Each structure stands twice: as C-alpha cells, then as structure tokens.
Amino acid sequence: MPVSKGRKKANKRPTPPKNPASSQVEDKGTSPIWYVATMFGMMAVGVLLILANYIDLLPGGTDSKWLLGGLGLIGVGFAMTLNYR
C-alpha cells in the first residue's frame, strides 16, 4: 500500500518586528517608596479592618459595611500593584 505525504506544520512563532528599537517600552524607572508603602499599607489596613470586624472591635458590631470597606481597601492595594515598577 502506498504511503501518503505528511502535512507541513504551520509556523507557530510570530515574525519578529522589523524595527526592534521602536517596539521597546520606555523605561520609567522604579516606583517611589511612598507608592510602595501606600500599596502595602492599604492592603494591611484592609486585612486589619476585616479582622477587627470579626473580633467585634468596631462600632456597630459585626457589620457588612466594615467587611466591604476592608475588601475595597485590599482591592485598591492589589490594583495599585498593576502600576508597580
């Protein structure tokens, strides 16, 4: 029985850009210390707010507003990590 030819595999790599210097992102340097401190500070305050809510240390008892506020602070802190260099 005759054997058929195999199919050629497609090139899975994209072609490199013609001008590599124009495609490079401009280096903006490192993030300032205040940005890093604010980022981690917001996450830490959010965690402490949630813990204080469950231990019943906050006014109004265990309330979902404190929980949502803590989660919001954690979310803002994590969103700040997207701009961290």
Question: What value does the CA radius of gyration of the chain take, rounded to a whole number of Å?
Answer: 26
pLDDT at 4: 78
What does the DSSP 8-state code read for residue 82? G
| pLDDT tens-place string over residues 33-85 | 999 999 999 999 999 999 999 999 988 888 899 999 999 999 999 999 999 98
Q: Model's pTM, two decimal places?
A: 0.67
In the 8-state DSSP scheme, what is residue 24? S
Do residues 54 and 62 make contact, with C-beta atoms less than 8 angstroms apart? yes
pLDDT, position 82: 94
Decide if pLDDT at 26 tops 90.
no
Q: How many residues does the structure list for the chain?
A: 85
8 Å CB contact between 73 and 45: yes
